[in-house]
Amino acid sequence: MKTASVNMEAPPGNKEKRASGLYTEYKRRRKILLKTQGTVFGVIGLLALWSLWGTGFNLLSIITGTYDMFVFMFTDLFPPDLTAIGSLIGPALDTLYMSYVGMVISVVFSLVLGILAAENLTPHVIIAKVSRAITAFLRSVPAVVWAIILVAGIGLGPLTGTIAIGLSGIGILGKAYAEVLEGMDKNQIEGVRATGAGWFQVMGQAVWPQFKAGFVSWSLYKLDMNIREAAILGLVGAGGLGYYLQSSISLFQYQTAAMAILMIFALILLVEFITAKLRERII
Amino acid sequence: MKQSKMAKIEKKKFRNTLYAVLAFAFFIFSMLQLNIVPERLIQSADRLAYVFGGMFPPVLNEPLDVFGAAVESIQVAILGTIIGVIVSFVLAVFAARNLAPSKTLSFAIKSFAGFVRAVPALIWALLFIVAVGLGPTPGILALAINSIGMLVKVYAEALEEIDMGVVEALESAGASKLHVIMQGVIPSMLSAFIAWSLFRLDVNIRYSAILGVVGAGGIGWELVKAAQMSRYDEALMVTMVIFLMVMSAEVISEFMKKRANSATAQAVK
């Protein structure tokens, strides 16, 4: 619509004819535009109706739900129970350790999978495909699902959470590393290889310097994400702050729960701050 | 001059080595704090082998229940996204610095979004369950509010990047505020808007698959049920359904993004 009106302002020569041609063109485009818009909104509308019918969601509950939430927040959650801080520090540290160890696990495995999956470094195309499929599978199953399965196997506690975080991290980091590796400058690798360097020398002298920045920033990003995940994994019994939150809610100790939420909030912000600083300093 | 540069590089190298050593030390320390020691790993390996052995072959005892729950999860994600997108867009117009009527309002909305964003979706679901009861409704509301936290930020950033010349031209032609937004603002940020909204749908489908864990409807509950009753073969089947859901959401949103981009390119041409 905008382009059509701009074109109409500059008709040299045969004014009348040109303008009418532009007008039909404008009408044609407008028709296409309206048709697309109609289809898009129609599909969205149908999906919305189908979902409303399926879930039995009452649109009014957007308002009543928000209202209920405010009431709940101000009558039950506030004020947070400050005396609970003492007993929360242990779980908070656990959450931190879980996400860190989980990150290290996923970094180690993702490095291997990433190198195998990167087109320019992989020993064979089939190995690359397999490695990609593994990371895609691990990425598409949420950490909480891993935690539920592992709780059945290993039992409650932080070990479960750590492994769950590590597993789902491999999915994300494996893909990210492979992409960073594929974006490398080929000539540098060729150059080092041409001097007769072995595999480790190529990795150290040509690959690592190009890979370092991407490696550090993706790994730190994963640490950020892990804190969020570690905080909620406790809800299924995998240790850390979430476990504390879940138990205090089921005991109706909402003010303690509020303190746990504040603690999660603070932990997320703290780790985000630290990783931002580290990223600046290392790169 | 060259000497100092060398010294600088040496210093940086030393510092990075120091970081690596510290990182490793912290890793060992964390392992010890969490009591992850080799003997415990070996102990749990047996148990894990038993659980994974019990998973094969995956079965589906109540196919209708599981697929119904999967559909419900998708519906929860769709509604959560639609509500989130609509509310976020309205809030983002008031939060973007170049369109907001007042600086204070913009700041207030942005900090609200920041707070909402920092609390994970599952915790919102937990709180909404206490506030409004079990079922899909708290799930939808939790996803909507969590989407708002993210979308307000990215929409506002997209709005702040638009060409203000278009807005001023419309204003000087006498267009009202609503007209300016419909004719000038939305076309300018449309592709960012579509891309982020589709991305959020993708994220929401991921979340909706696990919302059931805390009792907010959907397929997550089926998984918890199967795992608690030690029916590992069924748990694996549910996991595979979740995998399919998330995977297809990713593929579809990727495809839609491409379609939308090519459509925009065609319209501009």
User: ipTM score here?
Assistant: 0.80
Domain membership flag for residue B193: yes
Question: For residue A195, what are the contacts with CB-CB under 8 A and spacing of at least 6?
Answer: none
Round to whole Å and give the CA distance between B34 and B36: 5
Whether residue A56 lies within 8 A of chain B, CB to CB, comes out as yes
- Least confident range of A162-166, A170-174, B79-83, B229-233: B229-233
**A49's tokens:** 């109706």
Selection from B137, B150, B141, B131 nearest residue B218 by Cα: B137
**Same structural domain for residues B79 and B132?**
yes
In this predicted model, what pLDDT tens digit does every residue of A128-146 receive, in sequence order? Answer: 899 988 998 888 888 888 8
Q: Is residue B202 part of a domain?
A: yes
**Domain identity same for B17 and B85:** no
Neighbours of A219 (CB within 10 A): 22
Residues B70, B37 share a domain = no
Q: Please tell me the predicted confidence (pLDDT) of residue B264.
A: 66
Nearest chain A CA: its distance from B47 CA (Å): 5
Contact B130 A254 (CB under 8 A): yes
Look at residue B84 and tell me whether its pLDDT is greater than 90.
Answer: yes
Contact A54 B72 (CB under 8 A): yes
Q: Are A31 and A1 in contact (CB under 8 A)?
A: no
Distance between CA atoms of residues A9 and B156, nearest Å: 33
Q: Are residues B6 and B139 in the same domain?
A: no
CA–CA distance, A108 with A118 (Å, rounded to integer)? 16
| Angle CA B72–B73–B79, to nearest 5 | 85
Query: In the prediction, which pLDDT does B267 show?
Result: 60
Same domain assignment for residues B42 and B75? no
Domain annotation covers residue B58: no
How does the average pLDDT of chain A come out, rounded? Answer: 83
Claim to verify: residue B26 and residue B137 sit in the same structural domain:
no
Domain assignment present for residue B257? The answer is: yes
Domain count, chain B: 2
**Confidence (pLDDT) at B268:** 57
Confidence of residue A14 (pLDDT cuts 50, 70, 90): low
pLDDT score of A5 = 44
Co-location of B67 and B19 in the same domain: no
Residues B86, B165, single domain; the answer is yes
Helix axes B186-211, B63-95, angle to 10 degrees: 140
Same domain, B100 and B41: no
Same domain, B95 and B29: no
Residues of B in contact with A152 (CB under 8 A): 51, 227-228, 230, 232, 235
Decide if A153 and B51 are in contact by the 8 Å CB cutoff: yes
Q: H helices then E strands: how many in chain A?
A: 12, 0
Q: In order of start, what are the domains of chain A with their CATH numbers? A: 2-55 (no CATH), 81-282 (1.10.3720.10)
Which of B11, B24, B30 should be substituted to probe chain A, the one whose Cβ sees the most A Cβ atoms within 10 Å?
B30
CATH number for position B213:
1.10.3720.10
- Residues 6 or more apart whose Cβ sits within 8 Å of residue A9: none
At residue A265, the pLDDT reads 86
Q: What is the pLDDT of residue A12?
A: 52
pLDDT at A2: 43
- How far apart are alpha carbons B191 and A168 in whole angstroms? 30
Query: Is residue B203 in a domain?
Result: yes
**B42 domain residue, yes or no:** yes
Do B8 and B119 belong together in one domain?
A: no
Residues of A in contact with B235 (CB under 8 A): 148-149, 152
Structural domain range at position B174: 63-268
Summarised one tens digit per residue, pLDDT across range A55-78 is 888 888 888 888 888 888 888 777
pLDDT score, position B85: 94
